Structure formats: C-alpha cells, structure tokens
C-alpha cells in the first residue's frame, strides 16, 4: 500500500485524508502508528470513518508514551459528539445501531490545532504552523 | 506431577473461582484532570473507612498513579455494598510541562508531566482490563462536551460497564448540572459537591443501586 508522502515545503500544513477503505485493511497498531507518525511530522490527519472506542483508548495510551518535553506535547483529536437520539440500548446494538457510529475524526499535534467550536454537526478548528 | 499435587491445584482453582465471584467490585473513578476525582475518592473513603486515598490539589495531574482503596463498605437502606474504589489519574490527550512552570521549577514540571503521561496510560489500562464499573466525574462549572469526555464515555459504553456520571462542584456559581444531563442523557447524572459534602446521601444511594 502506498504511503502518504511528506511535503518538504515548510510553508504549509500537510493534511492527510484517510479513507475508511484504507483503514479497514489495517490492524489497530498499524492505524495508530500511521496517525502518530503523521502527527509527529506536523501533519493534520483526517479519518473518514474514525476509530473504534478500543482503538481510541490505545491511541491515548500510545500518545502518552510518546510525549516528550519540548518535542511532542500530544495530540488534539476531534470527532462529532454522540447524537442524543442515538440508540445506545442493548437492543439497539443488537439491531446494528452502532454500525452508523463511524464518524469523521480530525487529529493533529496539540501545539498546532485548536478547536474553536464543536457540536453534533460541526467541528471548527484553527490550524497553525507551529 | 503427582496425583496429590494435581488434586490440590484443581481444588485451589475451584475455590479461587468461587471466592472471586464474591470479591468486591472495582469501581474506577474516571474523568478529566481537575474534576475533583481524588476529592470524591477521599470523601467516600473517609465517610466509610476513616482514611483518605490521596492528595488533593488545584494543580492538574496531582494524581499520577491509580490508587485502590479496598473493601469500602457502604450501607444504604439496610443493605451493605462492598466495593474497591480505584482513584485514577485524569485522562487527557496532551500534557505540556509548561502548564506547571508557574507553580514549580522547570525540572519538577518536566518530572510531573512525565509522571502524568504514565498515569494517563495506566488509567486507560485499568479501564480496559481491571474495573467492573465507573464513576465518571465532571466539573459542572465546565463545558462537558469535550473530546476526552466523549471518547471516554464511548470506551466505557463499548465495554458494557455500568456508569454513573457525577456532576461535581455544584457549590460553584457557574455550575450547571443540566448541561451535563443534556450532554449524556443516556446515563444517570448525580449532582454533588465532594469538597463540601453536598448531596452525598443521593451519591451513596446511587452507588449502592448501580454497583451493589
């Protein structure tokens, strides 16, 4: 599978939009490695279908292990909050309500991305170069 | 291996299983940094055992190791519920040591940030492997719709763990319990002030009901 190439141009911010199809074929740690490698390079990573709760938990854990003073402060991650009308009951889950949980997710270096506004249908973020 | 040893091991496994079913449930106290998790853990522990669990502070990431208080017996309506309370470090996706430099010198700030990152990883590990239920503590004077809260509630739900949301710090002027109820309508929200000891009766009734 081809890798995202890194731009040498230091004047801009690279944005990688990763399709759900590309993520489907990857193991959990491959996904986390891809995200964190991109973020370490200063890129903004946008996942078409986000991560599962278990993958999010491992992303937090791995991010913590890689934080280094003056080099890497961690990540900013944003997805849409859960809809109030979403069916989280056991029956709902059996009926496949969770199938629609895949949500666009934006991840970037904590020192470069700042969330300005977030609600169930809109994420507004400010991205800076450093 | 001799027959006697095999028999002994087998009996030991069976008794372990029998007694493990009676072990107190481990209830993890989770939430973002500075929500008042340790203040709550100390309040519960002091009320029912007389001892505190950890040190409270206004500086974020005071708790950097998960701490367990075993066999906390809570009596409600004639019933006794025994739980282990696990006070966990506040969960975040970023830690910047410069956050602490107003309060301490740079070396201490760097050490604190390193320990904080280890603590967050430890808290996540406990959540995946070692807790039977969750008390999710939020500062009711802050906006509850943050990515960390959304993700953690999602992780807890995906593990089918019983969860109670505690809207802490209701003694503050900016407190809004409704904002938390609206953000997580799928879960029971209990208002309280762990610092002032407000509404603790309802807190203990709900702990007994959810985790008993």
pLDDT 10s per residue in chain B (212 long)? Answer: 455 666 666 666 555 544 445 678 999 999 999 999 999 999 999 999 988 888 888 888 888 888 999 999 999 888 789 999 999 999 999 999 998 998 899 999 999 999 999 999 999 999 999 999 999 999 999 999 899 999 999 999 999 999 999 999 999 999 999 999 999 999 999 999 999 999 999 999 999 999 88
> What is the 8-class DSSP label of residue A84?
T
Picking from A28, A59, A81, A105 by the largest number of B CB atoms within 10 A of its own CB, the best residue to mutate is A81
CB contact (8 A) between residue B95 and residue A111: no
What is the edge-to-edge ordering of all strands in the sheet holding B133-139? B67-76, B79-87, B25-30, B133-139, B163-168, B189-191
Interface residue B92 vs chain A (CB under 8 A): yes
- A·B CB contacts under 8 A: 86
pTM over 0.90: no
**Sign of torsion over alpha carbons A104, A110, A112, A117:** positive
Q: How many CB atoms lie within 10 A of CB B58?
A: 7
> B187 vs A84, A86, B164, CA distance in Å?
11, 13, 7
Picking from B60, B64, B112, B150 by the largest number of A CB atoms within 10 A of its own CB, the best residue to mutate is B150
CB contact (8 A) between residue A75 and residue B154: no
Residue B176: per-residue pLDDT: 97
Nearest to A82 by CA among B189, B138, B154, B155: B154
pLDDT band at A81 (very low <50, low <70, confident <90, very high): low
Rounded to a whole number, what is the distance in Å from the CA of A68 to chain B's nearest CA?
Answer: 8
Say if residue A66's pLDDT is above 70: yes
The average pLDDT across A55-61 equals 95
Domains of chain A, start order: 15-127 (3.30.950)
Picking from B28, B89, B91, B94 by the largest number of A CB atoms within 10 A of its own CB, the best residue to mutate is B94
Closest chain B residue to the Cα of A52, Cα to Cα? B155
Evaluate whether the domain defined by B23-211 bears CATH number 3.30.365.10: no
Say if residue A101's pLDDT is above 80: no
Nearest to A115 by CA among A103, A105, A127, A101: A127
Pick the residue with more confidence: A47 or A84? A47
**Sign of torsion over alpha carbons A35, A57, A20, A82:** negative
Residue B50, Ramachandran bin (φ over 0: left; ψ between -120 and 50: alpha; else beta) = left
Pick the residue with more confidence: B197 or A84? B197
CB contact (8 A) between residue A56 and residue B120: no
ipTM, two decimals, is 0.82
Residue A48: per-residue pLDDT: 93
The average pLDDT across A32-61 equals 95
Interface residue B154 vs chain A (CB under 8 A): yes
Rounded to a whole number, what is the distance in Å from the CA of A91 to chain B's nearest CA?
Answer: 13
CB contact (8 A) between residue B147 and residue A74: no
CB contact (8 A) between residue A53 and residue B151: yes
Domain ranges of chain B: 23-211
CB contact (8 A) between residue A67 and residue B93: no
Alpha-carbon distance A129 to A127, whole Å?
Answer: 7
Rounded to a whole number, what is the distance in Å from the CA of A49 to chain B's nearest CA?
Answer: 15
> What is the 8-class DSSP label of residue B212?
-
């Amino acid at each position: 599978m081809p890798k995202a190439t890194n731009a040498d141009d230091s004047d801009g911010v690279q944005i990688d939009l990763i399709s759900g199809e590309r993520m489907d074929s990857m193991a959990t740690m491959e996904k986390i490695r891809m995200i964190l490698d991109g973020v370490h390079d200063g890129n903004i990573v946008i996942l078409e279908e986000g991560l599962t709760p278990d993958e999010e938990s491992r992303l937090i854990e791995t991010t913590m292990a890689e934080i280094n003073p003056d080099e890497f402060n961690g990540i900013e991650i944003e997805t849409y909050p859960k809809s109030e009308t979403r069916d989280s009951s056991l029956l709902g889950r059996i009926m496949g309500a969770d199938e629609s949980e895949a949500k666009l997710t934006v991840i970037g270096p904590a020192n470069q991305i700042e969330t300005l506004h977030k609600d169930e249908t809109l994420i507004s973020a400010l991205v800076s170069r450093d | 291996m001799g027959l006697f040893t095999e028999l002994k091991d087998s009996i030991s496994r069976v008794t372990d299983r029998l007694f493990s079913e009676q072990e107190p449930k481990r209830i993890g106290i989770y939430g973002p940094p500075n929500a008042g998790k340790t203040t709550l853990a100390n309040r519960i522990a002091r009320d029912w055992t007389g001892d505190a669990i950890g040190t409270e502070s206004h500086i974020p990431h005071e708790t950097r190791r998960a701490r367990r208080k075993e066999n906390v017996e809570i009596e409600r309506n004639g019933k006794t519920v025994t739980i282990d309370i696990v006070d966990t470090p506040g969960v975040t996706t970023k830690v910047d040591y410069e956050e602490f430099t107003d309060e301490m010198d740079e070396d201490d700030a760097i050490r604190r940030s390193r320990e904080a990152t280890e603590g967050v990883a430890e808290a996540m590990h406990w959540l995946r492997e070692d807790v039977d239920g969750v008390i999710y503590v939020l500062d009711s004077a802050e906006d509850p719709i943050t990515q960390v809260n959304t993700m953690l509630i999602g992780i807890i739900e995906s593990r089918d763990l019983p969860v109670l949301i505690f809207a802490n710090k209701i003694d503050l002027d900016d407190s809004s319990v409704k904002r938390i109820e609206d953000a997580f309508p799928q879960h029971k929200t209990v208002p309280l002030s762990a610092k002032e000891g407000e509404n603790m009766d309802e807190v203990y009734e709900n702990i007994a009901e959810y985790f008993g």
